[in-house]
Amino acid sequence: MYKKLIYIALLAAASCIDPYETRVDKGLQLLTVEGTITSKVGTHTVRLTRSDTYGSIFEGVIEPVTGATVIVKDDLGNVTFLGENVGSRGNYYTPADFAAIVGRSYTLQIQLLDGKVYTSLPELVKDVPPIGNLTYQSERIPVEGEINDASGVGFIVEVDDPAEESNFYYWRNSRATYVLETRPELYIDPLTKAPAPKGCCAVCYKSEITGNNSFFIASDENFNGLRTRVKAGFILDDGLRFVNTFRVDLRQLSITAEAYRFLRLVKQQSETSGSVFDPPPASIRGNMVSLDDPDEVVLGYFIAAGETSQRVYIKGTELDFRQNVGGVPDDCREVDDSVVNPPADWNPEE
């Protein structure tokens, strides 16, 4: 009897408890600037975002910064305005005929909608030596717990480093294009789940930004004035890219010592093994500062660099190792950024 009364009393007490509503303040949002201009004529991009500090429950949430006024100014006072792309919020672009001039210094200046103003420290555009020779090779990467290795294509460049000066290199990939092969005859209707072969199309040309799996940078501290070979890139094999022919331009940038130090720190942090004994990720400050609050932490870096590039066509049949072909049972035109006709400058035999 007593147990029954106690149980009823507990139920009554529980029914009178108001739910506790927690309110968690959003973490401090940090302005992040990612921008590179080079001596190559073309459209150059500056990306503005806000991300939260390490330890915030909102960590990893990235918000584009829109409506900003963004300019690039050289040491002679010449100003170039960057326009925002309405279809790609937070990205600001130079005119298509813009190119930085070797020997000039450039600063990036930003004014946000709230009136806050930010500027970079000046970045000197340094001349860049040409790529003497570009080769590629298959690379296999063991994956813990997996039977099959990951793989891809690594790039090696030959550089004739100028003597009597310190040089710092940074390699990036252009937007790649490759022959995409699919199987439209194997298409399955998503509603009926029945085979519904399509008559077209099995071969397209897909364009994408492949990026790199790391930062490929180098200092000539150990090869000043010498000819040397350096690892300059890696593109992962996803089972589609190297089935037929793959094309990419490898970009070689000559950057400042300050930009090199920043990228080296980011590289070291991104390649941390991730054990419980590793220090937590730190906010690496770049060359951007707030003119309203010098103590404000601004992330990212504005790079101005000399640029040269070399185009390479990779024929999948020439690789020592490739992933199993990834099956796409559909019209190849249904794949994003794919078209039937090759680019006007497509020439695998060049």
Instruction: With respect to residue 1, please indicate whether it lies within any of the assigned structural domains.
Output: no
Segment 55-62 long-range contacts (CB within 8 Å, at least 24 positions apart): 55/27, 55/280, 56/26, 56/27, 56/28, 57/24, 57/27, 58/26, 58/27, 59/27, 62/32
What's the CA gap between 145 and 149, in Å, rounded? 10
User: Alpha-carbon distance 56 to 101, whole Å?
Assistant: 41
What pLDDT is stored for residue 270 in this prediction?
80
For residue 269, the model assigns a pLDDT of 85
Would you state the pLDDT for residue 60?
A: 52
3-state secondary structure of 334: helix
Give the contacts of 227 (CB within 8 A, at least 6 positions apart): 132, 158, 159, 160, 161
Q: 3-class secondary structure for 274-331?
A: CCCCCCCCCCCECCEEECCCCCCCCEEEEEEEEEEEEEEEEEHHHCCCCCCCCCCCCC
- Give kind and range of the element (H or E) at residue 3: helix 2-15
Q: Of 213, 219, 203, nearest to 256 (Cα)?
A: 219
Please list the rounded mean pLDDT of every run of 10 residues in the chain (350 residues): 42 42 55 96 96 50 90 98 91 97 98 97 96 94 88 95 93 96 96 95 96 86 94 95 97 97 91 56 83 93 97 95 92 97 93
Tell me if 106 is assigned to some domain: yes
What pLDDT does 280 receive?
A: 52
3-state secondary structure of 98: coil
Strands 29-38, 299-315: parallel, antiparallel or unpaired by DSSP? parallel
CA-to-CA dists, residue 166 to 104, 130, 170, 309, angstroms? 18, 16, 14, 21
Helix (H, G, I), strand (E, B) or coil at 153: strand
Number of domains forming the structure of the chain: 1
User: Is residue 8 situated within a structural domain?
Assistant: no
CB-based burial label for 279 (10 Å; 0-12, 13-18, 19+): exposed
Q: What is the DSSP string of 230-269?
A: EEEEEEE--SSTTSSEEEEEEEEEEE-HHHHHHHHHHHHH
Rounded distance between C-alpha atoms, residue 27 and residue 54, angstroms: 9
- What is the pTM for the complete model shown? 0.85
Within a domain: residue 346? Answer: no
Q: Structure tokens of 265?
A: 């720190």
**What is the span of the domain harbouring residue 289?**
28-339
Asked whether 12 and 260 are in contact (CB, 8 A), the reply is no
Contact 318, 179 (CB under 8 A): no
Residue 126 lies in a domain: yes
| Domain membership flag for residue 7 | no
Do the domain assignments include residue 16?
no
Q: What is the CA radius of gyration of the chain?
A: 26
Instruction: Report residue 306 CA to chain centroid gap.
Output: 19
Residue 20 inside a domain? The answer is: no
Q: How far apart are CA 174 and CA 35, in angstroms?
A: 15
